[in-house]
A and B are shown apart, each in its own frame.
Chain A
Amino acid sequence: MAANKRKRKIVTPKTAPYFFIAPAVLFFLVFTLWPVIQSLLLSFQTSTGGQSEFAGFDNYIRLFNDGLFYTALFNTFTILIIQVPIMLSIAVVLAVLMNSALLKMRGFFRVAFFMPAITALVAYAIVFMIMLDENFGLVNYALSLVGIDPVAWLNDPFWAKVSLIIAITWRWTGYNMVIFLAGLQNISNDLYEAASIDGAGKIRQFFSITLPQLKPIFLFTAVLSTIGTLQLFDEPFILTDGGPNNSTLTISLYLYLNGFRYFDFNYASAIAYVLVIIIALFSYVQMKVVGDDDD
C-alpha cells in the first residue's frame, strides 16, 4: 500500500509515457543506436592490415565512382518497380476473394497462403534451388509437360531477375494478403449495400469502394515492401549469389560481399548508410504521394 502511494506521486499522466517508453528506448539506445553510431563511424575510416585511420568521405566518394554499386542500384530498383506492384495486386485480389461470403474453410486458406512467409531461410534456399534447376527442376519438368522448352531460371541475366521476383512474390504475397484481409474486414458493409442499391456491380464496387477504402493499407504494405525490397538480400544470396555476371547483385548483397568476403567493413558501412538514405527518401515520397492520414 505504501508503495502504491509513492507510485501515484511519481506516475502521473504527465510522467507515465516516459515510464512506458523507457524499456523500449533503453534497449533501443544500447542495442541499436550505439552499434549504428559505431558502424557509421567505421564508414569514415579506412583500414589496412588491422590498422584504422580517419578517411573523411573517401569511402563515400569511392562509392559514387563504383560501377558495381550502380549496377546493384539498377538491379534493386528494377526488381522493386516490377515486383512490389505485382505482389500487392495479387495480394489485394486474393484478399477480396478470401473475403467472399461464398467461401468456406477460410481458416485453411489463410494458413495455406501465409505459410510461405514463415519458412526458414535454409529450407527456402534448398527447395527453390532444386525446383528451379535448369535441367532437372520441377518447374522445367512441369513446363516440358506442356511443351515449353527448359528455361535457365538462375543462369540467364533476364530469367535470374524473373526468378528472384517469383521467389519474393511467392514468399510475401500471402503475408500482404492477410494484411489486406484485415483492412477489408474494417470496411463497413453499409457502403456496399448502398452501392448495390445504386446498381453498381461487383467490379464497380471493387474500384469505387474497396480500393479507395484500402488506401491506408496500400500505403502501409507498399512502404514495408519497398523497405524489404530495397534491403533485398536473402533471395539473391541463396539463389544466384548476385549472378550471372552481377545481373542480380543487390545493394545489400554488395554490402555483404564487401564486408564479409573482402573484409572491407569500412566500405560496407558506407554502402549501408547510403542505402538507409535511399530508403528514407523513398518512404517519405510514398507517404507524400499517397497522402498520409497519420499526424
Chain B
Amino acid sequence: MKIWKMTLTGALSIGLLAACGGGNDDADTNEGGGNNADGNAENSEAEASEVSGEITVWGWNVAAASMELAVEQFQEEYPDVDVVVEDIGREDLYDRLTVGLASGGSGLPDVTMIETDRLDNYFAEFPDGFVNLSEYGFDEYEGEFPEAKAEAMKDADGNFLAAPWDIGPAGVFYHVPHFEEAGVDPDSIETWDDYIEAGEQIQEATGAQMAPIDISSDDALFRMMMNQLGTYYFDEDGNIDIDSDEAQQALAKIQEMREADLIANVDGWDGTVTATINHQVATVPFGVWYAGTIMDQAPEQEGEWDVFKLPAFDGDGNRDANLGGSDLSVLSHTENPDAAYAFVEYFTTDVDAQMVALEEYGLFPSLTAAYDEPFFEEEDEFFNNSPIWSTFAEVAEGTLPANYTSDYARALRYSADAQAEALLSGGEVQDALGEAAGRIENETGRERAN
C-alpha cells in the first residue's frame, strides 16, 4: 500500500505542479486583464482564442441538460474549446467522484457539478483534488453572488474551490383549490402557527394534510427552518449546534404539526411527488427547484399551484431560507485547466447562460445580476399567474449563511435520526437532538456549542 501510494502521490504531485504552473501563468494574464480594468474587448478576445482543447463536464439530469444548452454560446467566445457534457445520475456521480478522488484523481472529468452542502466534505478530505479558482481570478466575481452562497465556495483560507451556480430559495408550494375550498387566504399565513391553524381548517374541509416529509431519511423542512432562524447543524466556528435553542424550536414546531396530523409521512422522492400530485397534501414547503417537478409530473394541474414564502416563527421574523443548490468545480488532475476554468467562469457568471437554465429547466441562478431580467417580473401561467420567480429572488437575497462543514454528511444523517425519534417514536425534541449532537461529537471530535 505504502509503495503504491507513494508512487501515486509522486505521480500526482508532478501532475499538480504542472497544473499549478499552468495555472499561475494564466492567473497572471488574467490579472493583467483585470488591471486593465475597463477590459477592452480586444484583450479578452485575444486571451480567449489562446484557450483550446477538449474538456469533459459532469452533471446530472436537468443540470447537465442546461450546461449542454450553454455550450454553443460558450464556443462563440472560445471557439477552440470542445465541451463534452456527461449526464450522470446524482448518487452515481458522487460515487464516481469519490472513488476517483480517493485514487488520486483518475478517471475524473475536468469540471464537475457538486451540491453546495457537500463541498466542504470533499474539500476537507481531498484538499489537493480541486483547482484553486482564486488563482485564476475568480475573486473578482465575489460580489455578484449572495454572500451566503459565495462563502460556501471557499476553503479554510478563503480561496474559491468552486464557482456558485444554482440555489434553492425556499417557499411553500400550495394547491389553490384546496385553499379556496377551505376558505383559507394564503396571504394570511405569516407565522408557522398560522400555517398550523390553516392546516387544521384545510384538513377539516378537504381531508388533505399540510406537508409531506420523508420522516426517517430527509430533514428538509427542519433545515429550512434552522436556516430561517440563523442556525444550522454547526455554528460559524464549526462547533456542533444541532441542539441549539433555535434548532429545538424548529423541530418542536414540526413535531407539533405531526401531532396535529398535518404531516404526511412519505417514502423518499417518489413518495413526495406522489403525495403532491395526488393532493394528499395541500402544500409542499421546498426549494424553488420543486416547481419543475410539479410541472413535469402533473402538467394537467396547470394554474392550480402557487407559492408563498415560508411562514416566520414570530410576527416579523425572517421568512427567507435556502434548500439545496449546486456549483461547478475544476478538478486538479485536468490537463486543460485554462479551458476548464474558462467554461466554469463563463457558465456561472454569464447572465444569458443562467437565464436559459432557469427558463428551460427551473434552475435558479445565484448570479444576482440575473434577477434584473424581465423574466423575474413575469407572471407564471402554471403557477396561478403569480410572479413566483420574483418571490424566490427576494428570498434568495435575504437568506442567511449556513456553515455546512466537512462533517455535513454525518450531521445530516443523525439529524434525520433525531427527526424520526421525535416524530415517529414520540421522543422529546431536546433529547433527540442532544443524542445527535453527542454522536457527532464522538465521531468528529468537534466541540459542542451548547
> Which residues of A are interface residues toward B (Cβ below 8 A)?
37-38, 41-42, 49-50, 52, 68, 126, 129-130, 132-137, 152-157, 160, 240-241, 243-246, 257, 260-263, 265
B4 proximity list for chain A (CB < 8 A): 38
Take A130-B274, A243-B420 as given contacts and tell me if A135 and B264 are in contact as well, using a CB distance cutoff of 8 Å: yes
Q: A240 contacts B217, CB within 8 Å?
A: yes
Distance in angstroms from A200 CB to nearest chain B CB is 50
B90 within 8 A of A: no
A50 proximity list for chain B (CB < 8 A): 125-128
**How long is the Cα–Cα vector from A38 to B3 in the complex, in angstroms?**
11
Q: Could you give 6 example pairs across A and B, Cβ below 8 Å?
A: A129-B267, A130-B270, A154-B216, A241-B217, A243-B217, A260-B95
B407 proximity list for chain A (CB < 8 A): 262
Q: A244 contacts B420, CB within 8 Å?
A: yes
Q: A133 contacts B267, CB within 8 Å?
A: yes
> Which residues of B are interface residues toward A (Cβ below 8 A)?
1-2, 4-5, 94-95, 98, 102, 121, 124-128, 214-217, 264-268, 270-271, 274-275, 278, 280, 407, 409-410, 413, 416-417, 420-421, 424-425, 439
Apart from A129-B270, A135-B278: 7 A-B pairs, beta carbons within 8 A: A41-B1, A135-B264, A154-B267, A155-B215, A156-B424, A243-B217, A265-B102
Q: A243 contacts B416, CB within 8 Å?
A: yes
**How long is the Cα–Cα vector from A265 to B280 in the complex, in angstroms?**
42
A52 proximity list for chain B (CB < 8 A): 5
Take A38-B1, A50-B128, A263-B125 as given contacts and tell me if A243 and B274 are in contact as well, using a CB distance cutoff of 8 Å: no
Q: A155 contacts B274, CB within 8 Å?
A: no
Of B98, B121, B268, B416, the contact of A129 (CB 8 Å cutoff): B268
Distance in angstroms from B428 CB to nearest chain A CB is 14
Least CB separation from B94: chain A residue: A260
**How long is the Cα–Cα vector from A243 to B270 in the complex, in angstroms?**
17
Q: A245 contacts B1, CB within 8 Å?
A: no
Q: B275 contacts A135, CB within 8 Å?
A: yes
**How long is the Cα–Cα vector from A153 to B271 in the complex, in angstroms?**
12
Take A133-B270, A136-B274, A243-B417 as given contacts and tell me if A155 and B424 are in contact as well, using a CB distance cutoff of 8 Å: yes
Distance in angstroms from B434 CB to nearest chain A CB is 14
**How long is the Cα–Cα vector from A263 to B274 in the complex, in angstroms?**
33
B271 proximity list for chain A (CB < 8 A): 129, 133-136
**How long is the Cα–Cα vector from A168 to B125 in the complex, in angstroms?**
35
**Would you call the interface of chain A mostly helix, strand, loop, or mixed?**
loop
Of A49, A160, A245, A261, the contact of B409 (CB 8 Å cutoff): A261
Give the number of residue pairs across the A-B interface with Cβ within 8 Å.
Answer: 99
Least CB separation from A237: chain B residue: B91
Distance in angstroms from A7 CB to nearest chain B CB is 38
B2 proximity list for chain A (CB < 8 A): 41
Q: A135 contacts B127, CB within 8 Å?
A: no
Take A155-B215, A262-B410 as given contacts and tell me if A126 and B416 are in contact as well, using a CB distance cutoff of 8 Å: no
Q: B267 contacts A134, CB within 8 Å?
A: yes
A153 proximity list for chain B (CB < 8 A): 267
A257 proximity list for chain B (CB < 8 A): 413
**How long is the Cα–Cα vector from A243 to B267 in the complex, in angstroms?**
11
The 5 A-B pairs at the shortest CB distance, nearest first, are namely A244-B216, A243-B216, A244-B420, A41-B1, A245-B420
A41 proximity list for chain B (CB < 8 A): 1-2
Q: B417 contacts A245, CB within 8 Å?
A: yes
Distance in angstroms from A150 CB to nearest chain B CB is 10
Distance in angstroms from B213 CB to nearest chain A CB is 10
**How long is the Cα–Cα vector from A243 to B2 in the complex, in angstroms?**
37
A263 proximity list for chain B (CB < 8 A): 98, 102, 121, 125-126
Q: B280 contacts A240, CB within 8 Å?
A: no
Distance in angstroms from B334 CB to nearest chain A CB is 18
Least CB separation from A45: chain B residue: B1
A132 proximity list for chain B (CB < 8 A): 267
Least CB separation from A246: chain B residue: B417
**How long is the Cα–Cα vector from A72 to B142 in the complex, in angstroms?**
45
Least CB separation from A153: chain B residue: B267
**How long is the Cα–Cα vector from A121 to B416 in the complex, in angstroms?**
25
Take A52-B5, A262-B409 as given contacts and tell me if A135 and B266 are in contact as well, using a CB distance cutoff of 8 Å: yes
Distance in angstroms from A125 CB to nearest chain B CB is 9
A129 proximity list for chain B (CB < 8 A): 267-268, 270-271
**How long is the Cα–Cα vector from A244 to B421 in the complex, in angstroms?**
8
A246 proximity list for chain B (CB < 8 A): 417
Interface centre among A42, A129, A135 (most CB of B within 10 A): A135
Of A42, A133, A245, the contact of B421 (CB 8 Å cutoff): A245
**How long is the Cα–Cα vector from A243 to B268 in the complex, in angstroms?**
11
A133 proximity list for chain B (CB < 8 A): 266-267, 270-271, 274
Interface centre among A129, A155, A262 (most CB of B within 10 A): A155
Interface centre among B1, B265, B267, B275 (most CB of A within 10 A): B267
Take A135-B264, A263-B125 as given contacts and tell me if A245 and B274 are in contact as well, using a CB distance cutoff of 8 Å: no
A135 proximity list for chain B (CB < 8 A): 264, 266, 271, 274-275, 278, 280
Distance in angstroms from B34 CB to nearest chain A CB is 31
